Amino acid sequence: MSETTGPKMVTLTIEGRTAVVPEGTSLIEAAKTVGVLIPHYCYHPGLPVAGVCRMCLVDVEKFPKLAPACATTVMEGQVVHVHSEKAREARTGVLEFLLINHPLDCPVCDQSGECELQDYTFQEGRAESRYEEPKRFNPVEDFGGDVLYVPNRCILCTRCVRFMGDVAHDPVLNVSERGDRAFIGKADGHDLTNVWAGNVVDLCPVGALLSKDFLNKARAWELDRSASICTGCSQGCNITVETRDNTVVRLKPRPNEAVNQYFMCEHGRLDYRWINRRDRLDQPQVRRADGALRVADWEEALDAAADTLRGRRVHVLASANASNEALFLAERLMAASGGRGWFRIARGAEAPLPGVPDLSLRAERAANATGARLLGFEELTGTPAIAPADAVLVLDDTLDGELPAGLVEALVRGATLVHAGTTLPAAIAGRASVVLPLTNHTEEEGTFTNLRGRVQRFLQSRTAPGLARPSWFVLGDLAERLDASAGFALPAEVFGAMASAHAAFSGLAYERLGLRGLPVLDAEARGLTVTDAVSA
Amino acid sequence: MGYPHASHGRETPVLSKYFGDPDARTLAGWRARGGYEALEKALGMDPAEIQGIVKDSGLRGRGGAGFPTGIKWSFMKPDGKTHYLCCNADESEPGTFKDREIMRWTPHGLVEGVALGAHAIYAETAYIYIRGEFTEPIARVTAAVEEAYAAGILGANAMGTGRRLDVHVHRGAGAYICGEETALMNSLEGRRGNPRIKPPFPAVAGLFGKPTTINNVETLTTVPYIIKHGAEWYNGFGREDNPRSRGTKLFSVCGNIARPGNYEVTMGFPFGEFLNELCGGALPGREIKAVIPGGSSVPILTREEAEGALMDYEGMVAAGTMLGSGGVIVFDDRQDMVKQIARLARFYAHESCAQCSQCREGTAWTTRILERIAAGEGHARDFDTLLSIGENMSGKTICVLSDSCATPVASGLKKFRHEFEAKLGPDRSRAVVPVMLTSNRTAAA
């Protein structure tokens, strides 16, 4: 640690705890560092400070008035009380004001259970309302895109307005009218169709902005949540997969300063239904003497798959959404037999979020193309060179319903085919010798490498259908049969083997990746930009 | 002068000397009355020297807050940055109409003060932000600025000194909140007129993010007289036992009074004599009941309190209120104080910018309770609720609009409680809450 560089540090006391933070830090952020949450609504670390909700007023010794913690910077020796009588009374007052025109319709509100108005009112609000007048009423408005506005629940924190204006640079939202007649207005003729607009729903601390997609689908407390990575593009946004009864009902961004800050795009957010599809492969199948694929047990299927591949050059046609671990094991099969690996990738228009550096819906619409490249796979262009004596392993490439040109000819002339995947495309069903059911990325764990070379873990969020097994597990067992190597019991072991075999991943350990990931070591040499340094 | 009445012998007309004299509006007329001599003198002086003179004169901000003008100017240093001067002519405080008369009758006095002020804070550009409803003052000030440019007083070579001085007249759209200094700057920049959080203060980052000084019309118009006659001359006005309030001040008097209008008196003038002698006291057969001495945002005084008060910053504080903008509103015994206070609250509820929770909801809630009481539907617990809401609205928001709504309510409830109590209706169960669903969107549509 060098002491000459870096910002000047300031020491202050917050709720009796000593905080040491860089000069210029706000009280609200300084309090977080010592485990004190200062209640707030309008403040959000990813947005410019507004200081309007007045919820974060704290008692600072020697200040004449309560100070907004979001807009007050730390000073040496300051003593801050968050829970003094004066500060608590101010918050209770704000909560009362915010609730007088609020419909109190928690039982039918989607935000219920994850609502900051609800939480703080339970913590510090008045038990009984003193408001006896008629409540203000405004009708629900469809903001376009995936967003619904329920103005009666709105507390005018302006997070949505600031996000659209200052982060998305698409100032569609505004505060219209004044006084308690104010509401969030939408510019005439414009809708929230910006590909990043869905973030306003996450940012809204109450139930005023809702996702139409999630509307009335689940109560917040029924959801199981696990950390994952979005597979919508190569950005690798950190997300939380939320499931109810083993069904994915919602994807939410998970904060990661180095990748996506607090945001994710609509393309990634709304593209989850395929995860829940019911027509999944759930049992291994082997082609019998009668020419038909019949259900087999795993041992038999793996033996048959090994037989199909043994003695031939093994080419792999992999999905660019396969994990680093699966790709690494597949690459071992290729390398041992002199085969080649290809992947195909869908492309779309790049859509950056202007207010956040290096965050964009990327043109490459798959999570792990970078990992595939690092592990020796090439993007398939033209006809794959497959000889009649070769074997092909399809690793969860759905092939868009059709096989690549040349592959069919190769199969007709004698090449063999093993299909390991989550579904069985019709084009493959008639040709594969063995079909191995795999879990998808929400049913297993592993890592992806994003376009900047950051290796990030995803965790399992739902159970697999039938007998489907994790990709790294199946490929490990297959490798064990083909080259008599030891199998793997955990994805961490596969990752360890990959880190020792591949320079790109050397020095990384599965556990040390944490849930925010680490960049590959020689990313710069490979022309990838490292977004932050490995903290040793 | 007691415009539109003849000047009273006990007035001290400095700013109001030419009120009612159409000839003073023209450049020639203004020059004939000694106009622009102070500016010429000031342009030959070092800004720091001007700041010192203004400091010594004891001039304090006439917009309501009473911050010493010389000290405010001394925050502006020759740091090489672009500076701006804003003149706050968004006079919207109910009961206040002194700036209007300055702009109507002596627009060149204001232009001279603005130009002088700009020079004194190292600025080349000044903006006069005039309230949108002030159609005549806008026309007068605009004409004066044009005349000043044509005569070379303003422009690239102001008064032949080689200095650039630009003055722009900006017409507001009629929002009360745009009289708050940072909201005024947002409005000038083309944004919604919302007050900004401070710090940063305007002297550090104001208009367009540049160091900015903002002064009231009356303040700026006073400065040329100080430069011309000296700090001691101005400092000589005022009561002897109060060195902190000096000079003369314009008071706008309205309401139930014999002679409403603008009056200019020295600081510390006895308020009782002011009301009864200069303004002629109550209307025939009536009795003054209450007085708001400094614009609608300050605590209300009873007649007895008002008659014992002295008209300067400290004198009004001693009487339990504030000098504010000098807008005196007089209520006589015909007036229903509950209705009057409800009307004031409605004004604030209408003008709240909607940023801070306390103000947005509190002003409207206060209004609804007061209007219910005024309609004979109140109950005793409403008083506690009103005071408690007022407490929660005070000292906790970005600007003081919220406090301004709570202040007259609290003082009214304290001093005229019998009027509130006389209006109480039958106590109804709290369980019976009227559900009235009305849309406020219809107005916008």
- Would residue B219 be called left, alpha or beta, if left means φ above 0 and alpha means ψ between -120 and 50 degrees? alpha
Domain total in chain A:
3
Alpha-carbon span A246 to A110, nearest angstrom: 20
The answer to whether the beta carbons of residues A313 and A389 sit under 8 Å apart is yes
Q: Is the pLDDT of residue B1 over 80?
A: no
In a domain, A267, yes or no: no
Distance of residue A204 Cα from the nearest chain B Cα, in angstroms: 16
Q: In which band, very low, low, confident or very high, does the pLDDT at A382 lie, cut at 50, 70 and 90?
A: confident
Q: In which band, very low, low, confident or very high, does the pLDDT at A535 lie, cut at 50, 70 and 90?
A: very low
A152 CB near a chain B CB, below 8 Å?
no
Domain parsing of chain B, residue ranges: 34-235, 248-332, 337-421
CB-CB neighbors (< 8 A) of A133 in chain B = 365, 368-369, 372, 434
Question: What is the percentage of chain B residues whose pLDDT exceeds 90?
Answer: 93
pLDDT digits (tens, 9 = 90+) for B346-373: 999 999 999 999 999 999 999 999 999 9
Alpha-carbon span A62 to A80, nearest angstrom: 10
Q: Under an 8 A CB cutoff, do B354 and A180 touch?
A: yes
**E-strand spans in A44-199?**
57-60, 67-68, 79-81, 141-142, 147-149, 173-176, 183-186
Q: In which band, very low, low, confident or very high, does the pLDDT at A99 lie, cut at 50, 70 and 90?
A: very high
In a domain, A318, yes or no: yes
The answer to whether the beta carbons of residues B87 and B118 sit under 8 Å apart is no
Q: How many CB pairs under 8 A join A and B?
A: 115
Distance of residue A67 Cα from the nearest chain B Cα, in angstroms: 8
The answer to whether the beta carbons of residues A436 and A447 sit under 8 Å apart is no
Out of A306-315, A392-401, B119-128, which region has the weakest mean confidence (pLDDT)?
Answer: A392-401
In a domain, A479, yes or no: yes
Give me the pLDDT at residue A528, please: 54
Q: Under an 8 A CB cutoff, do B357 and A176 touch?
A: no
Strand partners, B249: B265
Quick one: A57 and A112 in the same domain? no
Question: What is the percentage of chain A residues whose pLDDT exceeds 70?
Answer: 95
> At A467, is the secondary structure helix, strand, or coil?
coil
Q: In CATH, what number is assigned to the domain containing residue A42?
A: 3.10.20.740
Q: Under an 8 A CB cutoff, do A139 and B437 touch?
A: no
Of B389, B398, B395, residue with least CA distance to B368: B389
The answer to whether the beta carbons of residues B14 and B34 sit under 8 Å apart is no
Report chain B's mean pLDDT, rounded to a whole number: 94
Quick one: A66 and A138 in the same domain? no
Q: Is the pLDDT of residue B440 over 90?
A: no
Quote the DSSP letter at residue B287. Answer: -
Q: What is the CATH number of domain B248-332?
A: 3.10.20.600
Alpha-carbon span B256 to B262, nearest angstrom: 15
Domain over B34-235 is classified CATH 3.40.50.11540: yes
Give me the pLDDT at residue A19, please: 97
In a domain, A16, yes or no: yes
> Regarding beta strands A147-149 and A209-211, do their DSSP bridges make them parallel or antiparallel, or are they unpaired?
antiparallel
Label residue A359 exposed, middle or buried (CB < 10 Å: 0-12, 13-18, 19+).
buried
pLDDT digits (tens, 9 = 90+) for B301-354: 999 999 999 999 999 999 999 999 999 999 999 999 999 999 999 999 999 999
Quick one: A77 and A113 in the same domain? no
Of B316, B322, B297, B334, residue with least CA distance to B408: B297
Of A162, A124, A468, residue with least CA distance to A285: A468
pLDDT digits (tens, 9 = 90+) for A263-321: 999 999 999 999 999 999 999 999 999 999 999 999 999 999 999 999 999 999 999 99
Give me the pLDDT at residue A521, please: 63
Give me the pLDDT at residue A408, please: 83
Quick one: A60 and A145 in the same domain? no
Of A75, A95, A62, A100, residue with least CA distance to A25: A75
Out of A222, A237, A261, a domain closes at: A222
Q: Which residues form the domain of A464? A: 285-519
Q: Is the pLDDT of residue A533 over 50?
A: no
The complex's ipTM works out to 0.92
| Topology, domain B337-421 | de novo design (two linked rop proteins) (1.20.1440)
Q: Where are the alpha helices (DSSP H) in B263-302?
A: 271-273
B175 CB near a chain A CB, below 8 Å?
yes
Quick one: A66 and A113 in the same domain? no
Structure tokens at A249: 């009902």
B385 CB near a chain A CB, below 8 Å?
yes
Dihedral angle at the C-alpha atoms of B246, B250, B255, B261, nearest 10 degrees? 140
pLDDT digits (tens, 9 = 90+) for A15-27: 999 999 999 999 9
- SS3 for A483-514 is HCCCCCCCHHHHHHHHHHHCHHHCCCCCHHHC
DSSP string, B35-99: TTHHHHHHHTS-HHHHHHHHHHHT-B-TTTT--BHHHHHHT----SS--EEEEEE---STT--HH
Q: In CATH, what number is assigned to the domain containing residue A133?
A: 3.30.70.20
Quick one: A207 and A298 in the same domain? no
Quick one: A141 and A71 in the same domain? no
pLDDT digits (tens, 9 = 90+) for A31-80: 999 999 999 999 999 999 999 999 999 999 999 999 999 999 999 999 99
Give me the pLDDT at residue A483, please: 80
Residues with Cβ within 8 Å of A89's Cβ and at least 6 positions away in sequence, in order, are: B392
In a domain, A469, yes or no: yes
Residue B426: Cβ within 10 Å count = 7
Residues with Cβ within 8 Å of B429's Cβ and at least 6 positions away in sequence, in order, are: none
Q: Under an 8 A CB cutoff, do B360 and A53 touch?
A: no
Q: Is the pLDDT of residue B435 over 70?
A: no
CB-CB neighbors (< 8 A) of A174 in chain B = 192
Alpha-carbon span A355 to B69, nearest angstrom: 41
Quick one: A294 and A418 in the same domain? yes
pLDDT digits (tens, 9 = 90+) for A338-363: 999 999 999 999 999 999 999 999 99
pLDDT digits (tens, 9 = 90+) for B137-147: 999 999 999 99
Quick one: A169 and A318 in the same domain? no
Alpha-carbon span A97 to B405, nearest angstrom: 15
Q: In which band, very low, low, confident or very high, does the pLDDT at A1 lie, cut at 50, 70 and 90?
A: very low
Out of A205, A222, A239, a domain closes at: A222
CB-CB neighbors (< 8 A) of A184 in chain B = none
Quick one: A140 and A26 in the same domain? no
In a domain, A88, yes or no: no
In a domain, A528, yes or no: no
Residues with Cβ within 8 Å of A424's Cβ and at least 6 positions away in sequence, in order, are: A281, A432, A435
What is the strand order of the sheet A391-395 is part of? A293-295, A285-287, A434-437, A416-421, A391-395, A314-319, A341-344, A378-379
In a domain, A446, yes or no: yes
pLDDT digits (tens, 9 = 90+) for A152-178: 999 999 999 999 999 999 999 999 999
A134 CB near a chain B CB, below 8 Å?
yes
Quick one: A79 and A111 in the same domain? no
Query: B284-299: b or e for each residue (b if 16 or more CB lie within 10 Å)?
Result: eeeebbbbbbbbbbbb
Alpha-carbon span B250 to B272, nearest angstrom: 16
Quick one: A347 and A379 in the same domain? yes
Mean pLDDT of A392-411: 81
Q: Is the pLDDT of residue A4 over 80?
A: no
User: If contacts are CB pairs under 8 Å, which of residues 321-380 in chain B contact chain A?
Assistant: 349-358, 360-365, 368-369, 372
Give me the pLDDT at residue B150, please: 97
